[in-house]
Amino acid sequence: MKIVIAPDSFKGSLSAKDVAENIKIGVLRVYKDIDIKCIPMADGGEGTVQSLVDATGGKILNATVKGPLLQEVDAFYGILGNGKTAVIEMAAASGLPLIADNQKNPMITTTYGTGELIKHALDMGCREIIIGIGGSATNDGGFGMAKALGVKFLDREGLDIGHGGGSLSKLNKIDVSEMDHRIKDCKITAACDVDNPLCGPRGATYIFGPQKGAQGEMLEILDKNLEHYAGIIKSTLNIDIKDSPGAGAAGGLGGGLMAFMNVKLQKGIDIVIETVKLDQYIKDADLVITGEGMIDYQTQYGKTPYGVAKAAKKYNIPVVALVGQIGKNANVLYDMGIDSIFSLVEGPVSLEDAITNSADLLQNSAERIIRLYKIAHEIKSN
């Protein structure tokens, strides 16, 4: 018998690796001598670096870079077990949690530090890069990232325009002649789960700007600046990013990656499934156990349990989701490959207690699931 355990992290509690290992402990209470494969998973958002490093036997590297307000921040990225693929979460360098609420200002915040992380990975010899582009504090279209890699953004006098989405109104010329030459030898993929264009009512500014501190007239200014930026990119590079699906992700970083790095945008869960080679592990499994902290109807839009279930159903393998909490309309997932959903909570309990005791709760819940599975398996065998 073979069981594959492929969960996401329980945010604020356990990493995906820890979740998988605790589920494994519960399984082994019932089946002592079976093949169990633990595959830490993620969906391209927070925790993706750690999950992919854990799943491939890679390593975490630290790097001091410029944060959203050009302050020094201690960021990180991962190098996977193959030694040549870097995985970066842009939020580690340019994310909202790196600035205080009263400092939110997408007119001046920059993705420069994300570019520095990319450069750091290049210096380490990586030529394949996966970038998770969520949770940004920025609205600069990714030009800060490109500037860190040598691209020049100049005004009418040939001077540098500065940083932040507000400075794009001064942009007159883009010079890519001194861009890091190593980029052309790279395969770069971005994990992106939104299809918003760069500009307009559904664009980066109007949809995501308010959570970054933009409101009122600032929204109009930032959107016009991105439109102007897209026009300069089109005339300079002959690349039209204005209406491209996903260009508006992470304050337009999606568009910047398209323009300067020829990046392919994919759903985060699909990138992770491909990177960890999940299909190779599950194709001959008898049962797959996945999970996340909260499961609800939104899981169907690209979160880990949905992606794992979709992969398992190609081989007609049963899938159980073990989660912290079952949320609104989670039952829609029964028509999408998840056969059953279990919460690890054993009774009325505070969130704090559930987090504190999550390891024991996972082990106990996994044991109950496997005891039920054992009964069904024995009935089927007879």
Backbone angles phi, psi at 234, to 5 degrees: -65, -45
Q: How far apart are CA 382 and CA 380, in angstroms?
A: 5
Give pLDDT, residue 346: 76
Give pLDDT, residue 240: 96
Give pLDDT, residue 4: 98
Name the residue among 153, 116, 150, 147 with its Cα closest to residue 131: 116
Q: How far apart are CA 34 and CA 253, in angstroms?
A: 45
Q: How far apart are CA 292 and CA 322, in angstroms?
A: 7
Give pLDDT, residue 241: 96
Backbone angles phi, psi at 137, to 5 degrees: -100, 10
> Right CATH number for 48-268 from 1.10.10.350, 3.90.1510.10, 2.60.40.10, 3.20.20.100?
3.90.1510.10
Task: Please list the ranges in the chain whose pLDDT falls under 50.
Answer: none
Tens of pLDDT, residue by residue over 96-142, are: 999 999 999 999 999 999 999 999 999 999 999 999 998 899 999 99
Cβ neighbours around 280 below 10 Å, total: 10
Q: What is the dihedral of CA 95, 190, 195, 93, to 10 degrees?
A: 10
Average confidence score pLDDT of the chain: 94
Give pLDDT, residue 377: 79
> H-helix or E-strand containing 377?
helix 358-381
Here the tokens at position 89 are 């979460």
CATH number of 2-41+279-381: 3.40.50.10350
Strand 264-266 and strand 287-290: pairing? unpaired
Strand 264-266 and strand 187-191: pairing? parallel
Residues of the chain with CATH 3.40.50.10350: 2-41+279-381
Q: How far apart are CA 153 and CA 176, in angstroms?
A: 9
Cβ neighbours around 118 below 10 Å, total: 29
Give pLDDT, residue 317: 96
Residues of the chain with CATH 3.90.1510.10: 48-268
This prediction has a pTM of 0.89
